[in-house]
């Protein structure tokens, strides 16, 4: 539990820096990182870009997998997660584009696209550190309430609460928010060696309480990480209001 969102961002960026540095990636030894989008991780990405510019970190031998992507939004749509990742992070660092994987929400066969993503993660040797955020309804990635806790990457129809929460990115017009998304499963994230979930703001307080103080259950999918061997929740004071 840290003071506020900016301290969480700084702490999370230092954690990533430390993990990548101690792993010592190289041409035959890539660090595999799972990444989220949304407002919460933006500060962490900005700090990581600073570390890169200061010469403290390189992403040359880092492979990334993003958690999710809307279905049907063009890649260059400012709200697509593809656009977000390139604009907010990848274009500012030395990552190899061939190793920065984002699900393709416009693939002709979405089921095959999800299977391809799972295969790529497996072939990369699994995710070393998966970073996530949560929705106010306690979803991780787009694993909406009721998702299986052993789910894999798949197509999901978004819950009304998620459309409501995300409409702010679409001119506050809920009809503009895509109705479906591709998302890694809870099981996909659970397979990671280590998981770090960032939770800030009073609007996430109920979800954090459900996640850590009540039983593991599929209506608050982030609660699954109570059973992960190395899961870390990094929160600000506001998010702890219901604990």
Considering only 9, 32, 35, 67, the residue that binds ligand GLP (CB under 6 A) is: 67
Contact between 40 and ligand GLP per CB under 6 A:
yes
Q: How far is the CB of 66 from ligand GLP (least distance, A)?
A: 9
Does 144 qualify as catalytic in the annotation?
Answer: yes
Q: Is 134 in the site for ligand GLP (CB under 6 A)?
A: yes
Paired residues of 23 in beta bridges: none
Would you call 193 a catalytic residue per the annotation? no
Residue 242 annotated as catalytic: no
Q: Is 214 labeled as catalytic in the residue annotation?
A: no
* DSSP of 166-179: HGGGGTT-GGGS-S
Alpha helix stretches (DSSP H) within 60-102 = 81-88
142 contacts ligand GLP (rule: CB under 6 A): yes
Q: 3-state DSSP helix/strand/coil percent for the chain, to nearest 5? A: 40, 20, 40
64 binds ligand GLP per the rule CB under 6 A:
no
Residues of this chain, 162-221, that bind ligand GLP according to CB under 6 A: 162, 166
Torsion of CA 59, 62, 63, 65, to 10 degrees: -70
Regarding 38 and contact with ligand GLP (CB under 6 A), the answer is yes
Residue 133 burial (10 A CB sphere; 0-12, 13-18, 19+): buried
User: In this structure, what DSSP letter does residue 194 have?
Assistant: E
Output 63 or 183, the one with its CB closest to ligand GLP.
Answer: 183
Instruction: Give the C-alpha separation, 233 to 57, whole Å.
Output: 24
* CB of residue 158 to ligand GLP, shortest distance in Å: 8
List, edge to edge, every strand of the sheet that includes 154-157: 68-70, 180-183, 154-157
Nearer to ligand GLP, 5 or 57 (CB): 5
Chain positions contacting ligand GLP, by CB under 6 A: 36-40, 67-68, 133-135, 141-142, 162, 166
Question: Would you please indicate which residues are annotated as catalytic (active-site) residues?
Answer: 68, 137, 139, 144
């Amino acid at each position: 539990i840290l003071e506020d969102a900016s301290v969480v961002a700084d702490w999370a960026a230092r954690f990533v820096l430390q993990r990548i540095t101690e792993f010592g990636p190289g041409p035959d030894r890539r660090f595999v990182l799972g990444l989220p989008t949304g407002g919460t991780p933006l500060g962490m990405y900005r700090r990581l870009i600073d570390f890169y510019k200061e010469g403290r970190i390189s992403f040359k031998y880092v492979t990334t997998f993003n958690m999710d992507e809307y279905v049907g939004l063009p890649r260059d749509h400012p709200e697509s997660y593809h656009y977000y990742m390139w604009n907010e992070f990848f274009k500012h660092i030395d990552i190899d584009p061939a190793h920065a994987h984002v699900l393709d929400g416009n693939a002709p066969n979405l089921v095959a696209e999800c299977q391809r993503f799972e295969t790529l993660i497996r072939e990369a040797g699994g995710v070393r550190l998966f970073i996530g955020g949560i929705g106010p309804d306690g979803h991780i990635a787009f694993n909406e309430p009721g998702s299986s806790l052993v789910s894999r990457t798949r197509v999901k129809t978004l819950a009304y609460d998620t459309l409501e929460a995300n409409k702010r990115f679409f001119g506050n017009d809920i009809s503009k928010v895509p109705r479906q998304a591709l998302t890694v499963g809870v099981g996909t994230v659970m397979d990671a060696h280590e998981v770090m979930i960032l939770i800030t703001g009073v609007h996430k307080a109920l979800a954090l309480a459900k996640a850590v103080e009540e039983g593991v259950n599929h209506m608050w999918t982030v609660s699954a990480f109570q059973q992960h061997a190395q899961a870390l929740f990094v929160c600000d004071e506001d998010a702890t209001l219901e604990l």
